[in-house]
Structure formats: structure tokens, C-alpha cells
Amino acid sequence: MTSNCSRRQFLGAMSMTAGAAMASPKLLNALQAPASPVAIGLCHEYDRQVVEVLSTMFDQLGGLKPLVKGKTVSIKLNMTSVPKDKLNDMPNEMTHWVHPQVIGALVSLCGQAGATRVRLLESAPWGTKPLEDFMAAANWNVKDLASAATKVEFENTNFLGYGKEYARFMVPGGGLMYAGFDLNHSYRDTDVFVSLAKLKEHRTAGVTLTMKNCFGITPSTIYSDQAPEDEPSIVPAGFRGPIHSGSRVPPKSAPPLVDKTNSKDPGYRVPRTTADLVAARPIHLAVIDGIYSMTGGELPNQAKGWVHQAVHPGLLIAGMNCVSTDAVATAVLGFDPMADRGTPPFETCDSTLRLAEQLGVGSRDLSRIEVLGTPIAKARFKYPPLSDLMGA
């Protein structure tokens, strides 16, 4: 996108940038955060058109081949909670999980573009059982996913998995909440990292898209209340209380907490941790399944009195920058990606978009983001603000 500006406007912008550099290096990072094109495609059902629409979108973004040819591609899925946690007895993939049709289409397209290996990753809450078993329990056809490309692998990243040690990722610049993270080896042993998310709102992050999807890459062997004081536990167990509410610090073996506020507010901690994660473990391709989804938060039946509704936005969103992609998706949901705490969708939390932009990950400014394919105005499917759906 290009625009003309006067000499006065140019000098004014330069003086603002200089002033920001003197006043706040983090603000300068936000001003310099990269903006990247984002593609939106209308896709009404989980059928053959998913491959066709995604293929067109990737072509609009410059093609998958330059990104994945001859490389290992790892895809972080969004399969939060357990298979029995349903909204009105609907399949999870129709409301709050990514759909296997989208997963298979993405795997197939990566294979066609020359990826030598595709790995499907998720922190399955089933102890050390394989991810394939978790999928099978949801009545997914695992063989179809395994055969979507030449070499497809699966790993439960909620613990060491098939690795012998955790991989350490440090946050450039020191981090907002944590200095870094110890993660499953799969997040290191890859050339291309893809976040495949569902189009949803979130109680403590405002929206849960490709960035918040990466909150789940933290193994509960380290980032749960049940982890030992000094070292990771052997098996995954428990809620990620240390990250959500500051119930305790991670084991001493992990990178330390750097935030000094001692805040117990999840709306403060979760967005900062998410921004740190995507700065430490960069996302190369961000894809959002918005064909079917739900309103009212990230999970069905998550709190007494909350109103959840299955919805049919009928669209897919993709981009090479997670902040820009999530900003466009936030706008598609009917919200302002430049909004912050106190304004929907961030009624009770800080904006992960702003925090990630502050770390220089990417821009949330729609005036800097080229939207390809379907315009936001045509794709928009307004979600009700969470403040309208909170019950007693």
C-alpha cells in the first residue's frame, strides 16, 4: 500500500519517531514492527473447497513453495480441552477446535509445495499418550491426516515427547513476563513454524487467534502448579496456574520471571506471556479457521451463566505475520485491533496485539496491512462483546 505525503507530514513523522526513540525504545519497536499482507477467503463448508480457497490465499501471499520447499514444517493445532467438552453435543471442530479438513488441506498443500516433513503438534491433556490417540478419541480419521503428505508425524508437546531435553527459547530484549521458555524439542527442530487457530474470543486475552494459540506450546511439566520446584516433572499434569494467575513460579531450571509487578490478574499475565512466546518462537505462517466457530469465549461451558453460541462466519484467514493476521481477524470479528484494555474485545485484559507490536513482532495497524482477496468489510462477521455474554 502506498500513499503520498507532504514535506511537513514527512518531517513531522520523523520528529515523532526521533522523540519515541528518546522517550521509549519499546515504542520505537512498535513503530518499526513489520506489517505483512493478510489474505481472507470465503469458504462456507468443510469440503473440497477448503483446499481450493487456501491454495488461492497462499498464492496471493506469494506461494507456499518459497517458504516450505525442502523443509520441515511444524503446525501447532488448536485442540484445547478434552473431546467430551462440547457445545450442544456438536463436534468440537465445529465450535472451538480447528477442523481436521483444514488441517488435512494445510498438510496436503505443504506437501505439494515440497515440504519434506510435516509435523502436527498439540499439548494433548492426556498425560504421555500420543496425539494420535487424542485425535482418535474425538472420532477423527487419523489415517487421512497421516496420508495427506509424504511424511506426516504427530507429537504431544505437553512434555518431553520424543525428545531427550527441552529446547530453550529466549525473548529478544528480555521479555515482558518471562525471560524465555523451555519447550518441547519440536518447536526447535523445525524450519517453518505454523500456527493454525480457530476464530474465537477469549476471557483473558480478548481474542484467541494465531498468537494466543501458542500459549499452548508451554508444557505443563514445567508451567503447571504440579511441576516440582527445581526441575520439570516427568509426566504432564495440572493447570498452567503459574502463567495464568501467578500462583507460583516455574521450576528453577526454567528461564525466570522478569515482570516485577507480582500481578495475579490473568488479564495482565496471559497477554504478556503470549507476546513473549511469539517473540521467542516466531511464527512463519498464521492460519485461522473461521468457517464454523462459537461466540462467548474460548471453550464451551466454561463458566456458569455464560452465553455460548455456535456461529458460521464462513471464512479463512492467513498471513506471514501473526500480529498483522490477528489484527485483520480482530477487525473481521467487528472489533478495533487498536483498542486496548476497557474496550471490546479487551474489556478485562490488556491487548496481546499491542504487546506483541511493542516487542517488534508485527504491526496491528490496519492502515499498514494490505488485505488480499476478500475485503474486511465483506468478510466481517460481528461477534458480540464478551461483556454482553457474561453471566452470574
| Segment 111-142, tens digit of pLDDT | 999 999 999 999 988 789 999 999 999 999 99
Question: What is the pLDDT confidence band of residue 29, given thresholds at 50, 70 and 90?
Answer: low
- On the question of pLDDT at 371 being above 50, the answer is yes
Q: What is the mean pLDDT of residues 16-38?
A: 62
Residue 392: what residue type? A
> Hey, where are the domains in the chain?
26-388
Strand spans (E) along 136-292: 152-156, 167-170, 180-183, 192-198, 200-202, 206-208, 285-290
92 φ/ψ angles, rounded to the nearest 5 degrees: -55, -35
d(CA 22, CA 172): 20
pLDDT above 60 (res 173): yes
Q: Distance between CA atoms of 1 and 372, rounded to whole angstroms?
A: 11
CA distances from residue 230 to 1, 8, 15, 90 in whole angstroms, order as listed: 51, 58, 49, 42
Strand 38-42 and strand 72-76: pairing?
A: unpaired
Question: Using CA atoms, how far apart are residues 124 and 237, in angstroms rounded to an integer?
Answer: 11
Say what the pLDDT of residue 20 is: 40
The DSSP bridge pattern shows strands 72-76 and 192-198 to be parallel
pLDDT in the model for residue 23: 42
Mean pLDDT over 201-222 rounds to 95
In this predicted structure, the answer to whether residue 6 has a pLDDT above a threshold of 50 is no
Alpha helix positions (H), 305-351: 322-332
| Rounded percentage of the chain residues whose pLDDT exceeds 90 | 80
Task: Quote the CA–CA distance of 198 and 93 in Å, as a whole number.
Answer: 9
- Of 213, 199, 148, the C-alpha closest to 40 is 199
The dihedral formed by the CA atoms of 327, 332, 338 and 342, expressed in degrees to the nearest 10: -120
Instruction: Please give the span between the terminal C-alpha atoms of the chain, in angstroms, as a whole number.
Output: 46
**Mean pLDDT, residues 270-297 taken together:** 97
Sign of dihedral through CA atoms 269, 274, 275, 281?
positive
Average pLDDT, the chain: 91
Helices (H) and strands (E) in the chain, counts: 13, 14
Give the lowest-confidence range in 88-92, 270-274, 319-323: 88-92
**pLDDT(103) > 80:** yes
Confidence of residue 18 (pLDDT cuts 50, 70, 90): very low
**pLDDT given for residue 12 in this prediction:** 39
pLDDT at 16 over 70: no
User: Phi first, then psi: what are they for 7, rounded to 5°?
Assistant: -60, -40
The pLDDT confidence band at residue 3, using thresholds 50, 70 and 90, is: very low
Range of lowest pLDDT (58-62, 239-243, 376-380):
239-243
Average pLDDT over residues 70-76: 98
**Proportion of the chain above pLDDT 70, given as a percent:** 90
DSSP assigned state of 172: G
CB of 306 closer than 8 Å to CB of 296:
yes
- Give, for 75, the enclosing helix (H) or strand (E): strand 72-76
Look at residues 314, 311, 324, 312 and name the one whose alpha carbon lies nearest to residue 360: 324
The region of weakest confidence among 107-121, 147-161, 302-316 is 302-316
pLDDT at 338: 98
Model confidence at 28, pLDDT cuts 50, 70, 90, reads: low
Distance CA 233, CA 272 (A): 25
Asked whether 200 and 208 are in contact (CB, 8 A), the reply is yes
Supply the pLDDT for residue 1.
39
Contacts of 138 (CB under 8 A, 6+ apart): 79, 83, 91, 92, 93, 97
| Confidence (pLDDT) at 105 | 98
- Residue 256: CA count within 13 A, CB half-sphere: 4
What one-character DSSP code corresponds to residue 200? E
Residues 7-12 have a mean pLDDT of 38
Residue 280: pLDDT over 60: yes
Per the model's pLDDT, the better-predicted residue between 6 and 291 turns out to be 291
Q: What's the rounded Cα separation, in Å, for the pair 216 and 8?
A: 47
